[in-house]
């Protein structure tokens, strides 16, 4: 793969340097859009005795660096960022090549047990300002060596990476502006809000300073946060960015934050397509997941969107939610049908819920129905996917339907332990079917050793509110 990027953060090698490999065991396109990774890269290359180079799974198969083509084996330490459960196997394959390897990232913050025997240690939390201490082997909050308990570390957001690598990533060739971390909403399925709480926003003045400084490198800017349109000064931010001449691309938008003024701004900023996540077709299930969005919010947002030049819409739905009935599945089709009257070019994405650790849904069975066996739940999910695919195609919308078995494996990997980690080369559903079952709320969970700052009794209350 040929890489074309502007990189102000790289460093020239000298033989006294300790070599650090920053490994992202997934595609370059996703990795280059990860500002956290760029932050770590910049921190390491600003240190006197270290040099850092990057590795992506689709560049030299992850075995040679982007910067110099150096072999992973020639590096002293590998810092791995693990974003998705599907990356575990590649991460393990690559970790063997480097003398010492440390893993971090959202999957590790959630449950590092499947990778416990494959890495020397783990970092649970945000490493922005402690990378030097991790490399020096200091005992700091968030570092987990496989023993005892660990408290997640988080940082204040009073700084932002000043200059950054511009490559072709998920947002195209764009400047990345991280407007905040965490989320003030309480969707019960959402692991992001649990891993990155508390909700923190960057100051408008700081964001504008960073945007101004990077203006010369790109015409496009991506606004990054779990829910960027919740930033208290979101409209002022977009307005100022437009004044700077940027095309503005928010990473996502909640339907209930959309109004005429905002849509006018983002369409002026060059937005051509938009994504909303109703998650469920019926009000009842949106309440069960605590999405906080009504059908009116969705239709209102879509109507406003259709009056601008935004003609492409993507809708995300989940299936396998607690209390889900046949009428809730049909409600997805009815909602898409209503939306289609406003915007004809729609893609509908259907995915089973993965009940993730640390969320109020962590105790749910995969498939959502505790009266069924894992195999029965999988079969029901497959039937729902087939039904939705068939009915939605009749509406002439584009359907992206999940492979249910892959989501079952994802659940096993996210709720599994060392035994799952030993079977990474071929995780079988029948072997680890227990990971797909409902979990008793009173037992200690494998991932309870991680303190994310929430109270388990509150999590249980949230879980009970969603039960039918």
Closest CA to 342 of 263, 284, 418: 263
> Closest approach of Cβ 250 to ligand SF4, in Å?
13
Residue ranges in 108-127 that form contacts with ligand SF4 under rule CB under 6 A: none
- In the complex with ligand SF4, the residue whose CB is nearer, 8 or 232, is 232
Ramachandran bin of 91, using left for φ above 0, alpha for ψ from -120 to 50, beta for the remaining angles = alpha
Cβ atoms of residues 216 and 225 within 8 Å: no
Bond from prior residue into 198 cis (ω within 30 degrees of 0) = yes
Q: Kindly identify the residues of this chain, within the stretch 426-455, that bind ligand SF4 according to CB under 6 A.
A: none
Closest approach, Cβ 279 to ligand SF4, in A, equals 8
- The least CB distance from residue 295 to ligand SF4, in Å, is 17
Residues 276-335 that bind ligand SF4 (CB under 6 A): none
Taking the least distance from each CB to ligand SF4, the nearer of 190 and 274 is: 190
Nearer to ligand SF4, 84 or 387 (CB): 84
Give how far the C-alpha of residue 391 lies from the chain's centroid of Cα atoms, to the nearest Å.
Answer: 29
Number of residues in contact with ligand SF4 under rule CB under 6 A: 9
- Of 187 and 402, the one with the shorter C-beta distance to ligand SF4 is 187
Q: Which is nearer to ligand SF4, 237 or 293 (CB)?
A: 293
Considering beta carbons, is residue 101 or 227 the nearer one to ligand SF4?
A: 227
What's the min distance (Å) between Cβ of 293 and ligand SF4?
9
341 exposed, middle or buried (CB, 10 Å; 0-12, 13-18, 19+)?
exposed
Of 136-195, binders to ligand SF4 (CB under 6 A) are: 183, 185, 187, 190, 192-193
Question: Over the Cα atoms of the chain, what is R_g?
Answer: 22
Of 234-263, which residues contact ligand SF4 (CB under 6 A)? 254
Closest to ligand SF4 by CB, 193 or 358 = 193
Q: How far is Cα 196 from Cα 155, in angstroms, rounded to an integer?
A: 10
- 45 versus 300: smaller Cβ distance to ligand SF4: 300
Contact 271, 220 (CB under 8 A): no
Environment class of 162 (CB within 10 Å of its CB; exposed 0-12, middle 13-18, buried 19+): exposed
Centroid of chain to Cα 247: 23
| Residue 252 beta carbon to ligand SF4: minimum distance, rounded to whole angstroms | 7
Kindly state the smallest distance separating residue 152's Cβ from ligand SF4, in Å.
17
133 vs 465 by CB, closer to ligand SF4: 465
200 lies in the binding site for ligand SF4 (CB under 6 A): no
**Whole-number minimum distance, CB 27 to ligand SF4, in Å?**
23
How far apart are the two ends of the chain, measured CA to CA in Å? 50
Smallest distance from ligand SF4 to CB 18, Å = 37
DSSP state of 211: H
Quick one: 54 or 254, whose CB is closer to ligand SF4? Answer: 254
Alpha-carbon 118 to chain mean position = 23
Q: Nearer to ligand SF4 by C-beta: 190 or 397? A: 190
Q: Least distance (Å) from ligand SF4 to the CB of residue 363?
A: 18
How far is 441 from 463, CA to CA, in rounded Å?
9
Smallest distance, ligand SF4 to C-beta of residue 225, A: 8
Kindly write out the interface string for residues 352-391 of this chain, putting x where it contacts ligand SF4 by CB under 6 A and - elsewhere: ----------------------------------------
Rounded CA gap, 149 and 448, in Å? 8
Judged on CB neighbours under 10 Å (0-12, 13-18, 19+), 284 is: middle
User: Strand 175-178 to strand 121-123: parallel, antiparallel, or no bridges (unpaired)?
Assistant: unpaired
Instruction: Check residue 200 and give left, alpha or beta (phi > 0: left; psi -120 to 50: alpha).
Output: beta
Closest approach of ligand SF4 to the CB of residue 132, in Å? 31
Among 25, 226, 322, 365, interactor with ligand SF4 by CB under 6 A: 226
Closest distance between ligand SF4 and the C-beta of residue 173, in Å?
A: 26
Is residue 313 within 8 A of residue 339, CB to CB? The reply is yes
Q: Which is nearer to ligand SF4, 95 or 197 (CB)?
A: 197
Candidates 70, 227, 305, 414: give the one binding ligand SF4 (CB under 6 A): 227
Burial category of 461 from C-beta neighbours within 10 Å (exposed 0-12, middle 13-18, buried 19 and up):
exposed
| Coil/strand/helix, residue 69 | coil
Which spans in 47-173 are helix H? 88-95, 106-110, 131-135
DSSP string, 299-325: HHHHHHHHTTT--EEEEEEEES-TT--
Q: What are the residues binding ligand SF4 (CB under 6 A)?
A: 183, 185, 187, 190, 192-193, 226-227, 254
């Amino acid at each position: 793969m040929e890489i074309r990027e502007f990189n102000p953060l790289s460093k020239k090698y000298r033989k006294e340097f300790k070599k650090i490999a920053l490994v992202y065991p997934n595609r370059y396109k996703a990795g280059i859009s990860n500002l956290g990774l760029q932050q770590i890269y910049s921190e390491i290359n600003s240190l006197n005795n270290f040099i850092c180079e990057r590795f992506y799974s689709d560049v030299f198969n992850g075995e040679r660096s982007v910067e110099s083509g150096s072999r992973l084996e020639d590096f002293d330490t590998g810092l791995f960022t693990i974003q998705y459960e599907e990356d575990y196997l590649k991460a393990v394959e690559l970790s063997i090549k480097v003398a010492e390897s440390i893993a971090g990232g959202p999957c590790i913050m959630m449950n590092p047990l499947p990778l416990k025997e494959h890495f020397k240690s783990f970092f649970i939390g945000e490493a922005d300002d402690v990378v030097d201490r991790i490399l020096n082997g200091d005992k700091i909050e968030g570092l987990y060596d496989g023993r005892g308990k660990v408290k997640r570390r988080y940082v204040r957001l009073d700084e932002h990476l000043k200059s950054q690598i511009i490559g072709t990533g998920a947002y195209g060739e764009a400047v990345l502006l991280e407007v905040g971390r965490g989320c003030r909403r309480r969707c019960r399925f959402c692991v992001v809000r649990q891993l990155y709480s508390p909700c923190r926003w960057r100051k408008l003045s700081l964001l504008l300073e960073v945007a101004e400084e990077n203006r010369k490198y790109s015409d496009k800017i991506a606004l990054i946060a779990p829910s960027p349109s919740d930033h208290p000064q979101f409209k002022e931010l977009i307005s100022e960015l437009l004044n700077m001449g940027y095309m503005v691309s928010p990473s996502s938008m909640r339907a209930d934050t959309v109004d005429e003024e905002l849509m006018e701004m983002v369409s002026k900023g060059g937005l051509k397509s938009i994504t909303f996540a109703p998650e469920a077709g019926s009000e009842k299930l949106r309440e069960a997941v605590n999405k906080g969005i009504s059908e009116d919010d969705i239709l209102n947002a879509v109507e406003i969107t259709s009056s601008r030049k935004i003609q492409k819409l993507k809708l995300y739905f989940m299936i396998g939610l607690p209390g889900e009935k046949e009428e809730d599945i049909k409600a997805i089709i009815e909602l898409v049908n209503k939306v289609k009257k406003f915007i004809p070019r729609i893609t509908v994405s259907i995915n089973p819920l993965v009940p993730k650790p640390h969320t109020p849904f962590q105790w749910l069975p995969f498939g959502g129905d505790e009266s069924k066996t894992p195999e029965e739940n999988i079969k029901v999910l497959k039937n729902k996917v087939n039904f939705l695919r068939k009915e939605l195609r009749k509406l002439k919308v584009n359907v992206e339907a999940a492979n249910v078995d892959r989501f079952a494996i994802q659940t096993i990997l996210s709720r599994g332990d060392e035994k799952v980690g030993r079977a990474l080369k071929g995780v079988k559903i029948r072997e680890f079917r227990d990971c797909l079952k409902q979990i008793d709320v009173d037992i200690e969970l494998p991932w309870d050793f991680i303190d994310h700052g929430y109270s388990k009794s509150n999590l249980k209350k949230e879980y009970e509110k969603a039960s039918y």
